[in-house]
Chains A and B, each alone.
Chain A
Amino acid sequence: MNAPVIIDRDGLNRLISVLVGMGFQVVGPTVRDEAIVYEPLDSIKDLPEGFTDEQDGGIYRLKKRTDKALFGYSVGPHSWKKFLHPPERRLWGAEADGSDFEIKPEKLESPKFAFLGVRACEMHAIAIQDKVFINGKYVDPVYQVRRENAFFIAVNCGQAGGTCFCVSMNTGPNIEEGFDLALTEILDEDHHHFVVEVGSQQGANCLAQLTHRQARSEEVEAAKNIVAQTAQQMGRTLNTTDIKELLYENLEHPRWDEIAERCLSCANCTMVCPTCFCSTVEDVTDITGMHAERWQKWDSCFTMDFTYLHGGEVRASTKSRYRQWLTHKLASWQDQFGSSGCVGCGRCITWCPPAIDFTEEVLQIRDSATQLSEPT
C-alpha cells in the first residue's frame, strides 16, 4: 500500500490512545508471573520493555536485556486465540415453562480488539483458524464478530526463540499480509523507532493521527536486514518434504511408543497451540431444574472424553492420542483444510513439561522411516 513510515516510541504510545479513542480494547504483550503474556494494555509502559526470554524444551525463562527494546522476545504461553475463540463461554440458556422450555440465546456482544505485537507465525495461525471457524460451511458467530472487528498491529521478529521454526513452516519471520499496521523495531545507540508498513485503510487512518515521517531507503533496508537475520537464528528446524506421506506410512513406527512413555496426556501442547481449535460443550442445570445452560470450553484430543462414544474411547492409549495430534497437525490437516496445521511457533515444545520436541520426533521417524512408497 503506502510507502513505509517511521514512528518513535511516543508515536507508538499515541497509537494506543488513538485506538482506544476509536473504541478498541488494545491487548498485547506484558510481563506477568515471570512470562510475557497477552493482556489489556493502557500505554507502552505496560509493554515488556527491556525483557527477553530464553526457551527450550520444557523451559521458559524471562531475562533482562541490556537495552530498552519493547518487542525483544519471541512468543510466550498465550496466543491470540484466547481473545478470538474464548476458553469458556455460554452458548445459550433455557428456562422451563410448564411442560415446555424457552431458549435464551446469548447476546453476540464482544469488545473490539486491537491486537498489538502479533508475530508472523501468529498471523498465519489466525488465518488457519479462519478456515476452521468462518471460511467453511458452518460459521462460529462469536469468532466471526471478534475476528471481523479486530485491528492488527503486527510486529516483525527481531530475534528468534530457542524453539522457533517458522522458517521451516514457511510462516515467518517476515509479516506478509492480514495486518492493518506492521512494525519493525529499530534500536541502536542513536535511535529507537519503528518502521511501519500500512496494510489497510483503517491502518492508514490511524497512522494519519500520529506524528510520522517517510522512511528513508536505508531505514527500510535496515528493517529488512533485521528480519533476514532472525530467519538465520531459528532454534529448531523441521523438514517438511513429503511429510504427509511420511507420517501416513509410519503410523506403527516404534517412536510413537517411545513418545508415549514420556507424554503426560496433560494437554498443554494443544492448549498453547495457536491453531488447535477443539472445544467441548457442557450442559448444566440449577438445583430447581428450571434453568439450564450450555457452555463451550476448550477441549483437547488428549482427554479420554474427547473420543468417548457408546462403549468407550476410540483412542484409549497415549500413543494413539499423541500420534493423532501430531499427524493431524502436519498431515491430515492438509487433507482437511488445505494447509499445514503447524505454524512453527514452538509453543508445544516449550510448554510441554517433559519437553517432548515435535521437530525431534518427526526427525526420528524420518531417519528410521518405513520406506516411502514409490510414486504411482
Chain B
Amino acid sequence: MSQISKPKLAVWKFASCDGCQLSLLDCEDDLLAVSQEIEIAHFPEASRAVMKGPYDLSLVEGSITTPHDAERIHKIRRSSKYLITIGACATAGGIQALRNFKDVNEFISIVYATPSFIDTLQKSTPISDHIKVDFELRGCPIDKGQLIEVICAFLKGRKPNTPAHSTCIECKRRGTVCVMVAQGKMCMGPVTHAGCGALCPSYNRGCYGCFGPQETTNTGSLSAQLKKMGANDDEIVRTFRGFNAYAEPFRRESELHDKKNN
C-alpha cells in the first residue's frame, strides 16, 4: 500500500487533561498496527511533524471553554470527513463543567491576580453542542480497546461495538459481586454507560460513573435507593457531579438534590 492512499488521522485537544490522547499512545503493540494502516497526520502530543488537512478521521479531546475554542472547533469540523469526540470532557463537558453550576466570574476574581486577562466562557460544554459529531466515545479516560475498536469500525465502514447498556452487565459477565447489594456501597453502575469493563467494582469500589449516563437512566430510582442506604442530599449531589456532571440525566438529578435550587 502506498503512503498516499492511507487514511489520514488527526488528534485535537481542547480543554482537557490529555489522558484520552494518551490512551492512543498507550495502545503499544496495537499502535504499530494502527500506524501501518493509517497516516497519523496531526497529533502534537506524539509528534511535532504535522500534515495539513483535510483529514479522514479526527479524534477530538476536551470541552469548549473559551471563545477561541468555540471558533476553532468549526475549522476542524470543516477539515474532517469523520469527527469522533473522545472522553468525558468532549462528550459531556468534563470535570471542568462543575463551573456550570456556579458563577465563573467569581472563580476568576478569586483565582487570578489580573482577572481582566482571562477570556473564558460561562460554561464548559461538550463538542456536540457546537458542531455535528459523528460518534461519541465515552469514558474518563476512554478505554484504549474501545478506541481501537472505533477507529477500526470507521475505517471499515461498520458500526462500532460500544454497548450503551448499564455497567452492571459488565460486572455480571465478569462475575463481580454487586458492591451495592452485598456491601451497601454507593455505586453509579446501574445508571452508567458500559465500557470500562466494570473496573472499580472489581476492586470493591462503587462505580464513579466515568462513562456517563447509560441509554435508559433512571437516576431518580438510584437516588431513592442511595437515600435508603443512608446518603444525604449533599452526597447525592457529589455522586452525580463527577466527570460527567453536565451530562443531561446526571445534571438534572444533581440539581434536584442541590439545596441552592430548593
Contacts and interface: CB of A to CB of B under 8 A. Distances in A.
B164 A304 contact: yes
A85 B191 CA distance: 27
B231 interface: no
Contacts of A77: 177-178, 181-182
Majority DSSP secondary structure for residues of B touching A: helix
Nearest to A271: B172
Interface stretch (B29-37, B46-54, B76-84): B29-37
Given A284-B149, A287-B148, A288-B37, A266 B166 contact: yes
Given A300-B165, A305-B165, A353-B178, A58 B172 contact: no
Contacts of A262: 218, 221, 224
B173 interface: yes
B156 A354 contact: no
B222 A272 contact: no
B161 interface: yes
A87 B170 CA distance: 10
B172 A268 contact: yes
Given A266-B166, A300-B169, A34 B183 contact: yes
Contacts of A359: none
Nearest to B189: A266
Among B30, B153, B182, B189, the most chain A Cβ lie within 10 Å of the Cβ of: B182
A19 B157 CA distance: 51
B34 A32 contact: no
A16 to B, nearest CB: 21
Nearest to A321: B216
A288 B190 contact: no
B163 A303 contact: yes
B175 interface: yes
Interface in B223-239: 224-225
Interface in B201-259: 204, 214-216, 218, 220-222, 224-225
A323 B10 CA distance: 47
A351 interface: yes
A286 B155 CA distance: 10
Interface in A339-355: 350-351, 353-355
A61 interface: yes
A87 B173 contact: yes
B256 to A, nearest CB: 15
B173 to A, nearest CB: 4
B64 interface: no
A266 B168 contact: yes
Interface in A66-114: 77-78, 82, 87-88
B133 interface: no
Interface in A270-299: 271-272, 282-289, 297-298
Interface in A232-276: 261-268, 271-272
Nearest to A88: B173
B161 A282 contact: yes
Contact of B225 (A37, A268, A304, A353): A353
Nearest to A282: B161
A286 B182 contact: no
A318 B190 CA distance: 14
A303 B215 contact: yes
Interface residues of B, number: 47
A354 B219 CA distance: 11
B151 interface: yes
Nearest to B32: A287
A264 B218 contact: yes
Contacts of A169: none
A33 interface: yes
A186 interface: no
Given A35-B182, A287-B148, A287-B152, A265 B37 contact: no
Contacts of B165: 267, 300, 302-305
Given A298-B173, A303-B163, A305-B165, A33 B182 contact: yes
B140 interface: no
Nearest to B159: A283
A37 B152 contact: no
Interface string B171-203: 011111111111110010111000000000000
A353 B33 contact: no
A33 B181 contact: no
A59 B191 CA distance: 19
A60 interface: yes
A87 B190 CA distance: 19
B75 interface: no
A44 interface: no
A61 B30 CA distance: 43
Contacts of B166: 264-267
Given A266-B166, A289-B155, A350 B181 contact: yes
B180 A353 contact: yes
Contact of A298 (B34, B148, B172, B189): B172
Interface of B: 30, 33-34, 36-37, 148-149, 151-153, 155-156, 158, 161, 163-166, 168-169, 172-184, 187, 189-191, 204, 214-216, 218, 220-222, 224-225
Given A263-B218, A288-B37, A305-B165, 12 more contacts: A33-B183, A35-B182, A59-B181, A87-B175, A261-B218, A261-B220, A264-B191, A266-B166, A287-B34, A287-B152, A289-B156, A300-B169
List the 9 closest pairs (A to B, CB-CB), nearest first.
Answer: A271-B172, A266-B190, A87-B173, A264-B190, A303-B165, A266-B168, A266-B166, A35-B177, A265-B216
16 contacts: A33-B179, A34-B182, A88-B173, A265-B166, A265-B218, A266-B166, A267-B165, A271-B172, A284-B161, A287-B33, A287-B148, A287-B151, A304-B165, A304-B215, A305-B163, A353-B178
